[in-house]
Structure 1
Amino acid sequence: MDQIIEQVMAKIRQREHQSYEVDYRLKGLPPDEEVYTDHANVVINDVAIGLVADLYRADTSNPWVQWILQGISFQVNFTFQISKQMINFIPRKMLLNWPIEFVVDARHPVFGFFGKSVSRSDLAALPDQSVVVLTPTQRLTAEAEEICQYKQIIKKIRTDEDCIWQK
């Protein structure tokens, strides 16, 4: 019995470091669910606005949404590769609460913050050249502004809390 437990634990440890990459295709089907047994990290390239909208609404008639939601239940870490034009189409609640990382042009992770004030410590933990989505009511401290310059953090100000398609 100990040998079986050991094998299962080895498989789980191996899974944690395995990544799977797939291109999103509107007309195509998502990969097989078996991806989740071997990979804890899934990167979806070329994510479209429609997929983000359907996922936010949990529209399970979309097979990609079903697949992603099932992956979330399997504790898969999802990374959505998006273009910089899509930042305004990501609901703020997804940036703050969903277990999905959005990355612009394969090298700029996107972040949002809850508080009205964003501090130096909030930004210091971010990778260089990250994108930070702010609302008009949020302010950066003086030290946070310095960190933005030093780390080349891109600030994206939203005109309001919602994304474009939520109106």
Structure 2
Amino acid sequence: MDHLIEQVLTKIRQREHQSFEVDYLDKTLPPDDQVFTDFANVSINNVTINLLIDLYRVDTANDWVHWLLQGISFQVNFTFNISQYMVNFIPKKMLLNWPVKFVVDKGRPVVTFNRKTVSRSDVAALPDKAVLVVTTAQHLTTEATEVSRLKQITIQIRTDEDCIWQK
């Protein structure tokens, strides 16, 4: 019995460090659910606006949404690789609360804060070249703006918390 437990623990430890990358194609089926037992980190390339909308609305008729929700239940760390033009199509609630990470150009994380004032320390904690989404109701301190310039952080300003398609 101890040998079996040790095998399971070894598999779990291996899974934590394993990554899987897949290209999203609208007309194809997602990979098999077996991916979730073998890989704790899944990157999806070519994520589209339609997939984001269906996922946000939890449209399980979409096979990819069903697959993604299954992965979330397996505690998979999802990374959605998107284009910089898609940032305005991501609901702020999704950036704040969903267990997925959005990345522009495969290296620039998209982040936001849920506070009125974004401080120097907030921006300093971000990775270099990140994309920071703020609304006009939020205020960046002068120091935060300076740090964002030094760290080459792109500041994406929205008129409100909703994204374009939620209007």
Instruction: State the partner residue of 2:76.
Output: 76
| SS across alignment from 2:61 | coil
Note the C-alpha offset of 1:111: 0.2
Distance 2:41 2:147 in 1: 29
Partner deviation per Cα, 1:10-37 (whole Å, 9 max, x = no partner): 1111000000000000000000000000
Distance 2:114 2:160 in 1: 14
Instruction: State the partner residue of 1:103.
Output: 103
Instruction: State the partner residue of 1:43.
Output: 43
Distance 1:165 1:146 in 2: 32
Distance 1:92 1:140 in 2: 17
Note the C-alpha offset of 1:121: 1.7
| SS across alignment from 2:156 | strand
Distance 1:25 1:134 in 2: 30
Note the C-alpha offset of 1:164: 0.5
Distance 2:119 2:13 in 1: 35
Superposition map of 1:6-155 within 5 A: 6-155=6-155
Note the C-alpha offset of 1:127: 0.8
TM-score calculated relative to the size of structure 1: 0.98
Greater displacement, 135-144 / 93-102: 135-144
Distance 1:54 1:149 in 2: 35
TM-score calculated relative to the size of structure 2: 0.98
Matching residue's letter, 1:138: Q
Question: Structure 1 regions of 5+ residues with no counterpart?
Answer: none
Note the C-alpha offset of 1:130: 0.1
| SS across alignment from 1:149 | helix
Matching residue's letter, 1:143: E
Distance 2:13 2:150 in 1: 36
Note the C-alpha offset of 1:150: 1.4
Is 2:155 aligned against 1:163? no
Question: Structure 2 regions of 5+ residues with no counterpart?
Answer: none
Aligned-residue sequence identity (percent) comes to: 67
Distance 2:155 2:139 in 1: 11
Distance 1:70 1:124 in 2: 35
Note the C-alpha offset of 1:147: 1.3
Note the C-alpha offset of 1:4: 1.2
Matching residue's letter, 1:117: T
Distance 2:54 2:24 in 1: 14
Partner deviation per Cα, 1:75-128 (whole Å, 9 max, x = no partner): 000000000110010011000000110011112110010000011221122110
